[in-house]
Structure 1
Amino acid sequence: MFPTLAAILEETEPEHLFSQLVHDHLSSLLKEFERYFPTTKDPRTAKEWIRDPFVNKPGESSVTVQEEDQLLEIASDGGLKSMFETTTLPVFWIKVMAEYPEIATTALKTLLPFPTSYLCEAGFSALTATKTKLRSRLDIRNTLRVSLSPICPRWDRLVKEKQAQGSH
């Protein structure tokens, strides 16, 4: 498939050395990903029920008792299962909200921060810009929230409330 690469490998290094290099590189990448995205702090942990409420594992989700009861009722409803298979995930939870408001509200609060791929890309861009400019900031939630907000600040009002610096 890659005749040039195969020719280079035959001329320079034994095959096992190359595979060892690839393995070492991938292992170091895995360590770096773990450093930036630790699996112990994965926000999806205990929220698998949002993606598929019909594969419920009691006790593993982080919901209240009332929400767990509603989740069990949803999982046992065949009509909701057929609706789940024919609609998208946000549409399913919006339709379920009338009958099961607590569990649907929890699911939608998790799903709605990035409802489109554009907002997801904008979030990654804002995160990259913030991390590049402010490397020492560990908690960037507030900065990211302001960066992604569609609300434009009223600069005239903000400036008017501040006192101008007097001359010396």
Structure 2
Amino acid sequence: MFSELHDFLEEGDVNVNSLKASINVHLQSLLEKFHQYFPTENVENYDWIRQPFTSCSSNDLSSELEDALLELSSDRTIQTSFALKTLDEFWLSVAQEYPGLSKAAMDILTPFGSTYLCEKTFSSLTYIKNNVGSAPWRRISESPYAAFLQELTCYVH
């Protein structure tokens, strides 16, 4: 099943116990990240976000927001638009009429996506820095324009 691992262990001078410890640390880190992205909160508390027209109460909502949710759930025009939009589009579209509900819903919906985008951007920048940014053609001292730049700087002073 793990033929490459077997070959690696056979070929190299590897301490199996340190490898196991390293794998264990990595798996623990993954578990922590998993719990960070998907907390073990009671998911039913957020049914009002996924199904605002069938779920009219939540333990997490204030009485003002519950009243707004009841009002929203009785609006047939908004209910029609709910079927045509994604959750985030829907909650953004009702932000004018129900700003408190919209903000509460978006606070729950956006963390995962925004965290993912930040990490993806960071990974892309790291790749560029390591692979593209260090390329010889990026270094001015190794380019044919180095002499030209020295000549230009003479005129600046």
TM-score range, shorter chain: 0.3 to 0.5
Report the structure number with the largest CA radius of gyration: 2
Give me the TM-score of the superposition, normalised by structure 1. Answer: 0.44
More helix as a share of residues: 2
Give me the TM-score of the superposition, normalised by structure 2. Answer: 0.47
